Amino acid sequence: MDKRFGMFIHWGPVTLRGTEIGWSRGHQVALSDYDNLYKEFNPVLFDADTWVKVARDAGMKYITITSKHHDGFCLWPSEFTEYDIMATPFKKDVLGELAKACEKYNIRFCIYYSLLDWHDPDYPMHNDGSKELDSQANMDKFVLTIKNQLKELVTNYDPYMLWFDGQWESPWTDEMGADLYSYLKGLKKDLIINNRLGKEMTAIHDKEVDYTKMIGDYDTPEQKIGKLNLDFPWESCITIGNQWAWKPNDKLKSAKECLHTLIRTASGNGNLLFNVGPMPDGRIEQRQTELLDQMGHWLRSYGESIYETTGGPYSPTHEYSATRKDNKVFIHLFQNNQSELVLPSLKGVTVLTASFMNGSDVKMKIHEGKYNFTLPHHLPDSISNVLVLQLDKPARDLSLIR
Ligand code: H79
């Protein structure tokens, strides 16, 4: 959790059509077309070092790549299927090259793996939204295949984390999830595994979760920022544009939205797994790398307020959110046209100084149990500003102010 910021990569033959990897098969793209795209998948401009450097320069500490998404196509040479990268004209081990580059640049290498598979006849559902279960399918056999593939992945690429998906479908059960969890920990005991081995998760809907029912080490809110939680680790996965897989001219978030997404995540004590979708030729689109560069630029000045911090003590509002570390509370300001900021005072500590990170001191008055900060007309940073409260005691011990 101290790493705070990782890169999610969704990639595969579907990028040749520019439609979504998770639900365009048999919809925007005809089945017969979709299932033959691998024959044309030839990303000759793929360079693992370049991808990893983009992540590193953005301030990301780990990379999680789709080894196999719901469509069943595998980005590594797998002994247990023909439907993999070796069947394409490209014939290179994308996962292997990426794992090696991650090692070289000290970035943690992590693997996404979908538990459903539209391509494998043993899995009972053969497309997105299937209503009927195929009686010819064999879930026991399918689970064996999954275990074989995962053993292959863990043995060959030594991932730091595994990111499962698709466990909401009816053929998958919590029993299978619990069994797979202990199987994987048996293969590598310090492997970190997300909670999509079991049904209980925050996911897309804002439902209250029962942490005792979860199977996995951390929660995975999808396309939304998780709630402030100091007790259970979480990581939000969020796209830089609208689609997971590359889409030409996809509407991307602004640099400010990208940064505020990261800041709000850290303020909730969570991680951000920020998704990019590389193009079918193997490059990450320049519009995406430019945004990531801007995040990296900001983080080089303000990283102390993000990495290795704890969320809170203030609950996030539309105006601000907070992180803390050592004797400091960092107040992240989301607006830049305020003349004043009022915060409830912190109990049992004294604010020694208040100043802008990379800027000047800020005038603070205490009035009726509240801190009143006078904010200048011109703020030091054009994208996102941080007010630092220097305390006389460690900020970590402060209770949350809801
Ligand atoms: O890989 C990306 C998406 O392609 C994949 N997850 C991210 C990381 C994804 N596949 N499908 N979906 C997302 C949408 C699934 C939504 C739902 Fe449900 C499944 C709605 C109802 C069933 C799971 C259970 C989520 C909410 C309840």
Distance of CA 44 to the CA centre of its chain: 27
- Give the Å distances, CA to CA, from 15 to 7, 40, 45, 93, 344: 18, 11, 14, 18, 49
Q: Is the CB of 115 under 6 A from ligand 1?
A: no
Per-residue pLDDT at 136: 97
Task: Using the mean position of ligand 1's atoms as its centre, give its distance from the Cα of residue 203 in Å.
Answer: 7
311 in ligand 1 pocket by Cβ < 6 Å?
no
Query: What is the C-alpha to C-alpha distance for residues 380 and 382, in angstroms, rounded to an integer?
Result: 7
Is 237 touching ligand 1 by the criterion CB < 6 Å? yes
Tell which residue, 38, 217, 72, has the closest CA to residue 149.
72
CB burial string 167-178: b at 16+ within 10 A, e below: beeebbeeebbe
For ligand 1, pick from 69, 165, 272, 275 the residue to mutate: most ligand atoms within 8 Å of CB: 165
298: closest CA among 58, 132, 18? 58
Contact 4, 272 (CB under 8 A): yes
In this prediction, residue 28 carries a pLDDT of 98
Alpha-carbon torsion 156, 160, 166, 168, what sign?
positive
Question: Is the shortest distance between the CB of 168 and ligand 1 below 6 Å?
Answer: yes
User: Which of 7, 131, 222 for a ligand 1 pocket mutation test, highest count of atoms within 8 Å of Cβ?
Assistant: 222
Amino acid at 332: H
Task: Confirm if 97 and 76 have CB atoms less than 8 A apart.
Answer: no
> What single-letter DSSP state applies at residue 392?
S
Residue-wise pLDDT for 340-353, tens only, equals 999 999 999 999 99
Q: What is the pLDDT of residue 113?
A: 99
**209: Cβ below 6 Å to ligand 1?**
no
Q: Which residue of 168, 174, 238 sits with most ligand 1 atoms within 8 Å of its CB, as the best mutation to test the pocket?
A: 168
Instruction: Quote the ligand 1 centre to 170 CA distance (angstroms).
Output: 13
The predicted pLDDT at position 11 comes to 98
Joined together, the tokens standing for residue 280 give 């079918």
308 close to ligand 1 (CB < 6 Angstrom):
no
List the pLDDT tens digit at each of the 402 positions of the chain.
Answer: 999 999 999 999 999 999 999 999 999 999 999 999 999 999 999 999 999 999 999 999 999 999 999 999 999 999 999 999 999 999 999 999 999 999 999 999 999 999 999 999 999 999 998 989 999 999 999 999 999 999 999 999 999 999 999 999 999 999 999 999 999 999 999 999 999 999 999 877 677 889 999 999 999 999 999 999 999 999 999 999 999 999 999 999 999 999 999 999 999 999 999 999 999 999 999 999 999 999 999 999 999 999 999 999 999 999 999 999 999 999 999 998 899 999 999 999 999 999 999 999 999 999 999 999 999 999 999 999 999 999 999 999 999 998
What does the pLDDT read at residue 402?
A: 84
Interaxial angle between packed helices 139-157 and 94-104, expressed in degrees from 0 to 180 and rounded to the nearest 10 = 40
pTM of the shown model:
0.97
What is the Rg, in whole angstroms, of the alpha carbon atoms belonging to the chain? 23
The Cβ-side half-sphere exposure at 1, using a 13 Å CA radius, reads 21
